[in-house]
Structure formats: C-alpha cells, structure tokens
Structure 1
Amino acid sequence: MGKAKRSATELGREPATDDGALVALLAAGLRLQTSDNVWRVSGNTLPHRLMLRDAGGTWNRLDQCWDFTGEDPTTRLVAAIEAAPTPSGHNSGNAEAPKPHYHGHRGRVRERVLKTGTEPLADYELLELLLFYSIERIDTKPLAKRLLERFGTLGDVFAAEPGQLREFEIDQRTLVHFKALREVGRRLAERKVKDMPVLTNWQQLIDYCHAALAHEKTEQFRILFLDTKNVLIADEVQQRGTIDHTPVYPREVVKRALALNAAALILVHNHPTQPF
C-alpha cells in the first residue's frame, strides 16, 4: 500500500485519490507520477493505449509514458479500466481488432536479414532496422527516411547533434544508440591500421581517418603516434575547435609524443565545411 502511494507522489505531492484507486492502477500494470500539474502514466501501457488516449492522455515518445495535464486523472482512469470490455483474442469469443499495416513488419525484416544478410538493404532500411532496437511500438520506416532526407548519409545521422535530432523527437535511448554505432564504426576502421606499419597501409589509414573525422561538425586536430616501425601507438584528439578554426600548441604535441616514446607523428586535420 505504501509503495503505491509513493509511486504516485514521487516529488512529495499528495495524491488526490485514495489508495484503492492507486492499487487498481498498479493491478493493471500502470504507474502514476506527478510533477508541476503534469501526471505521467507509465508501465505496461500498450494494452491500455486507446483508453489512455480517450481519457485525455498524450503519448510522450521521449519519456515513453502518457502525459495528462490539469487535475489528477486517477479516478477516471480506474473507471475506464473497470468499464473496459474483455480484451479481444482467440479465447474471448470476439473478433480481433484490425491490425495496423506494419503489423509483423519487424519480424519480416529480421527474417530477410537472416536469409540474405544486410548488404542488399538500402540505407533507409538499414537505419530502420537499427531503430527497431531503440524505438518501440511504431513504424520506424518513415522516421528513417526523414532522417536521411535531412542529414544525407548514415554517418551524418549518427554524428548529428542532439539538438538537431530532437526535431525528430529522438529520445535519449536512441541518441545513445547512435553514438555507440558511430564509435563501433571508428573502432572497426582503427583495427585495420593498429599494430600494422601505417606507411604500408596508406589507404586503410585514409579510410580510418575518414571514419573518425568525416562527419564531425567542428574542426579537430588529431595526432597519430607511431613507433620506430611506423606502427600506430595511439590516436588522440589534441584539440577541438569551431566550424572553421582549431588551435594547435606545438609544445603540447611534443610533450605528448615524448610521453608516449613516439618515433614519428602523423598530424590529421579536418574541415567540416568541405568534403573530407
């Protein structure tokens, strides 16, 4: 009983309903929290989404919950739950509700990838597939197409600033996903040049620098530290600048080279306003 009350008063605000109503919400798999006259319903909301919408709720895609403004919605939500008909299904005796056009689409895409691999996928299909694992319950194909239309390439989507992605209601989970994917690409490229003589793998080095810098929105000054056999010891960002400028401090470059016992350096610099 105490837990039910605490979940509805996360920030110390007393609920306007009794514990029985809160327990009824918990029994339905729903949790109620409030702050600044905004009531948020989270938990197992999928079976109740139509009821929550009809009760005046708005789906908050960023926080993955239903928002209600104004007075405490607990009483009307409990009444709606109690008045709701038995869910339709193969055991209910009722006809199933029509399924959305994208019903089963994710499963079909996964099956296609398992059979033919990812190579035949168009960029929007590959992005759509990746979005499956961070965005639930919606058709992600239109979002994937809009992102590519806005940013141009997959690399530019993954490198987009959080503020730019917020225009598309991209939540924090997807932001983290994009950052991780970009880092995976950089590390895969790095693997091809690490522990190898860089000067005999020049194209791989160029490919690595492209993966690391091509989609940066500001200028960077990177240093590749090599040993006596021209094998990569370390790759470090020495300075970050603006869209058209970055400072370089020779003293810091030499100091770091001595600390790593590097025998040679490759200095790498990008221009975000020009193709890499």
Structure 2
Amino acid sequence: MSPPPRQFSEAPLPGFEPVRTRRRAGPEPHQVAHRKRLRARFMQGGAEAMPDYELLELVLFRAIPRRDVKPLAKQLLMEFGDFNAVLAAPSARLTALPGVGESVIQELRIVAAAAERMARARVLDRAVIASWDALLHYCRTCMAHRETEQFRVLYLDRKNILIADEQQASGTVDHVPVYPREVVKRGLELSASALILVHNHPSGDPTPSEADILVTRQIVDAAEVLGLTVHDHLVIGKGREFSFRAEGYL
C-alpha cells in the first residue's frame, strides 16, 4: 500500500521572507481623469480655446506619463514667456529647470520641427510675392523666439518661386557675421534670380542697426553686378517685423 502524500506547510522557513509582487506605480486616478478631459477638450474644440499652459500639458503628457505636469507647464511659461518661446528655448536653459529631462526636450523639439515644416510647406515651390503673409508666418515660426541671431537667405527663381531657404550664419544675442560674397555666390550656384534676406533680433525690437543697413547695401551692390535682385530684407522681432522695402531702405 502506497504511503499517503506528504503535506507541506505554507509558512515561510525561518530566516526567509516571502517574495511579494510589487505593483508598478501608475498615475493617480485624478491625473488620469484630468488627462482624459484635457484631450477630449482639445479634440472637440481645438487649441484656440485652450490657454498656453494646457496646450503645453498635452505635449508633456507623452514625455512624463506618470506625474501631474501642470506645475511644470506653468513653470516653463513663467521662465520663457509663452508657448512658442518654450518650444524654441535652448536645451541648456531647459535642463536647468527641475523636472525637465531628455524626454521633455525631445517632445518640445518634435512639436517645433512639425510647426516649422508645416509653415515651410506653405511657401516652398510657390510664388513668394503672392504668398507674402505665409512667408512672414514661416519666418516668425522659425526665428521670432530664437535667443541668438540667425541670418537666412531665401533664393527665388525667375518666377519668384522659392527654390531654397538656407541659413548663412548664426551668431550671438546681438550680432551675426554675414559675408555678402558668399550670399551672392550661393545664388549663382542655385541659378537664382532674386533673394530675400531674413534675420532676427532676439531683443524683440526689429529696428535695424547701422550694421544691418550696411551689410544690406553691400549685398544689394554685389547682387546687382551679377544680375540678382534683392526683393527685401526682413528683420524678425517678437510680435512684429521690419521690412527694408516697405520702409524705403531698398
């Protein structure tokens, strides 16, 4: 006859603790509900009715999935001023703020790149003169909130269609080196017929400096010798821009 089966006690052995499964911490229920409500409002009414901090929250949701991001969104806006300035903020200044890591910066850069690409699509391969408002929107999107000066040249063909948008130089908060010969030389390489010069003033005031006026004159003179036309020089500030053509400088 077979012996009865052995019985094992469920009590832990002396000196050993039972292994307990640790549940992964997730967002609090009120955070989940808040995120759902915010996303629903965005899908129903779009971004127009949302303040900047709520739109920024939507961006931060992906970067920080398990934390209330409203305080961080408001801190970013307090530090940089508005939604666009947050997107354009330098990485070094962003990471100096508590709670901002690589994932946050990555999400901000993705949104900024998408905005620039959409604005650029409205002017590339189109007659720029007939799409002037779209061109200004593109320049503001790319340059208005930069913290250093950037000088770009838009090269146009005989029909004033934009064939290239190139950054010629970047500089400091109040200076950017520009070489008229290189600007014109590149126009010849692209078989361009006309140029539009664009640079930004990080101070926010688009009033041109004496150096801006001088380098514009040098580029115009060099371009004329080679049969290229300079349609305008735009200085992009925060909220407004200065047109050399409209103000009688060209």
TM-score (norm: length of structure 2): 0.69
Question: 1:193: Cα distance to partner?
Answer: 1.4
Question: 1:155: Cα distance to partner?
Answer: 0.9
Q: Secondary structure at the match of 1:104?
A: helix
Instruction: Determine the structure 2 residue equivalent to 1:173.
Output: 103
Query: How many equivalent residue pairs?
Result: 186
Q: Which runs of 4+ in 1 moved over 4 A?
A: none
Instruction: Determine the structure 2 residue equivalent to 1:157.
Output: 86
Listed as ranges, the gaps of 5+ residues in structure 2 are 1-15, 206-236, 238-250
Give identity over the alignment, percent.
47
Q: How does 1:83-232 map to 2 (within 5 A)?
A: 99=28, 101-166=30-95, 167-232=97-162
Cα distance in 2 between the residues matched to 1:205 and 1:115? 30
Instruction: Determine the structure 1 residue equivalent to 2:19.
Output: 82
Cα distance in 2 between the residues matched to 1:101 and 1:186? 35
Per-residue deviation, residues 81-140 of structure 1 (Å, max 9, x unmatched): 8367x97xxxxxxxxxxx554342212222232333333211111110111111120011
Aligned CA RMSD, in angstroms, stands at 2.1
Cα distance in 2 between the residues matched to 1:107 and 1:274? 37
Is the contact between residue 59 and residue 108 of structure 2 (CA under 8 Å) also seen in structure 1? no
Q: Secondary structure at the match of 1:223?
A: strand
Larger RCO of the pair (alpha carbons < 8 Å, separation 6+):
2
Q: 1:235 to 1:137 in 2, by over 3 A?
A: same
2:203 pairs with 1:273: yes
Is the contact between residue 174 and residue 201 of structure 2 (CA under 8 Å) also seen in structure 1? yes
Is the contact between residue 72 and residue 99 of structure 2 (CA under 8 Å) also seen in structure 1? no
Greater CA radius of gyration, 1 or 2?
2
The range that moved more, 194-203 or 232-241, is: 194-203
Cα distance in 2 between the residues matched to 1:197 and 1:83? 68
Cα distance in 2 between the residues matched to 1:230 and 1:152? 36
TM-score (norm: length of structure 1): 0.63
2:164 pairs with 1:234: yes
